[in-house]
Amino acid sequence: MPIYENEPVAVSYISEYDTEKITEILKTQFGNLGITGESFENKRVVIKPNLIMKKSPEYAATSSPEILDALLDILDGYSPASVVIAESSGGPYTKQSLEAAYNVCGIKSVTDKHNATLNFDTTYKVVDFSDGKTVKRFNIISPIADADVVISLPRLKTHSLTGMSGAVKNYFGVIPGLEKFELHARFPDYNDFSSMLVDLATLVATRAETINILDAIVGMEGNGPTGGSPRRIGAILTSRSAFAIDSIAKELICAHGVLSVKEADARGLASADADKISVIGDDYKSLIVRDFKQPDSKKRGLVGFLQTFSGGAIGEYFRPRPVIGKSCIGCGECVRSCPKETISLVSEKNKRIASIKLDNCIRCFCCQELCPIHAIEVKRRGIISFINRAKRDNK
């Protein structure tokens, strides 16, 4: 199976979620990329949306139902052996959680109109990957492990940990449920975590034909992948290569320093220089959103500089950290999602709220990602607090 080095990316302008227009765009892009009915004939096709949490589509945190609708419309005209929608969201991988995500994210109502089924099989397969640089064995949800063709439907978002959630990051959802937190705990270093993501996306592309359709019609800016705000960008990007798509996607939202893009470049999978990616269709450069809000964890400035370049205890002091806000309702979701088990519920002023012991925190920001009411902020300590602490320590 090819891993799709140096694959082209099809780019098409579109400013609204109009299923008919999206269908036409996908047909054109498929044609330009050599994807035909034969690509799906008698194949087990699995569509992997991004359903990170049960949120309705207007929040721009999950895959657009209209793009799924358009894709299923096209597949209805071909002869695949089967078409299954499969995803493992951010929390536990259970029939109940899948049902809730399919319903709330608008996926069920669309799927019901077509020759496709929703996955409720919560088993996984152990898959060896001797070519993996960082991980040589993954547990993969069964439909993806057994697929002949995987069509990934990411949405373009910022991401507090990785900087950007695009085509490569979407494959993290093939890891069953809470095992995602184990991978966060195993790879607290951002470089290692990104290398793991590249291994994972490569593994999927080694086992099955892959097609990646990135929804950049409306993305998420700010504290993505769940706590940011929708922001119009105006395009759909399609490629067999998740790495080539991300090289261009990072330019669209000015997400500089995305480590998985650098890692893919270092491995020769796709250049991190978007000018070197072959583009078919519209010119993405006119869509670059120069003031796309980046996550708080990635903001630079003087304290960011100090954190990066001072190292040691000073660097640690300025590291962005999760902070529980006053709106916490004590639901415990962050407690369950923390890979280092460093969050607990405590009583304060007659209510239960979350409390973080930062000593053990690896800054994975899973807690922020999965808090249903976005009560967790990412903050850096300021220069003034640093000076005050230094004064106190010297007394």
Of 26-34, 79-87, 256-264, 328-336, the segment contacting ligand SF4 by CB under 6 A is: 328-336
State yes or no: residue 142 binds ligand SF4 (CB under 6 A): no
Of 29-37, 98-106, 258-266, 329-337, the segment contacting ligand SF4 by CB under 6 A is: 329-337
State yes or no: residue 340 binds ligand SF4 (CB under 6 A): yes
Closer residue to ligand SF4 (CB): 268 or 372: 372
State yes or no: residue 257 binds ligand SF4 (CB under 6 A): no
Contact 8, 284 (CB under 8 A): no
- How far apart are the C-alpha atoms of 264 and 284, rounded to whole Å? 21
Pairing, β 82-85 against β 117-118: parallel
Residue 225, Cα to own-chain centre: how many angstroms? Answer: 7
State yes or no: residue 361 binds ligand SF4 (CB under 6 A): yes
Number of residues that bind ligand SF4 (CB under 6 A): 28
Of 8-16, 49-57, 171-179, 356-364, the segment contacting ligand SF4 by CB under 6 A is: 356-364
- Residue matched to tokens 């395009």: 235
CA distances from 145 to 8, 123, 150, 260, 298 (A): 25, 10, 10, 22, 34
State yes or no: residue 183 binds ligand SF4 (CB under 6 A): no
State yes or no: residue 375 binds ligand SF4 (CB under 6 A): yes
Q: Which of 10, 47, 141, 364 binds ligand SF4 (CB under 6 A)?
A: 364
Residue 329, Cα to own-chain centre: how many angstroms? Answer: 26
Q: Which of 331, 355, 377, 386 binds ligand SF4 (CB under 6 A)?
A: 331
- How far apart are the C-alpha atoms of 341 and 335, rounded to whole Å? 7
- Residue matched to tokens 């597949």: 75
- How far apart are the C-alpha atoms of 157 and 155, rounded to whole Å? 6
- Residue matched to tokens 């302008």: 13
State yes or no: residue 323 binds ligand SF4 (CB under 6 A): no
State yes or no: residue 172 binds ligand SF4 (CB under 6 A): no
Interface contacts to ligand SF4, rule CB under 6 A: 322, 324, 328-334, 337-340, 342-343, 354, 356, 361-367, 371, 373, 375-376
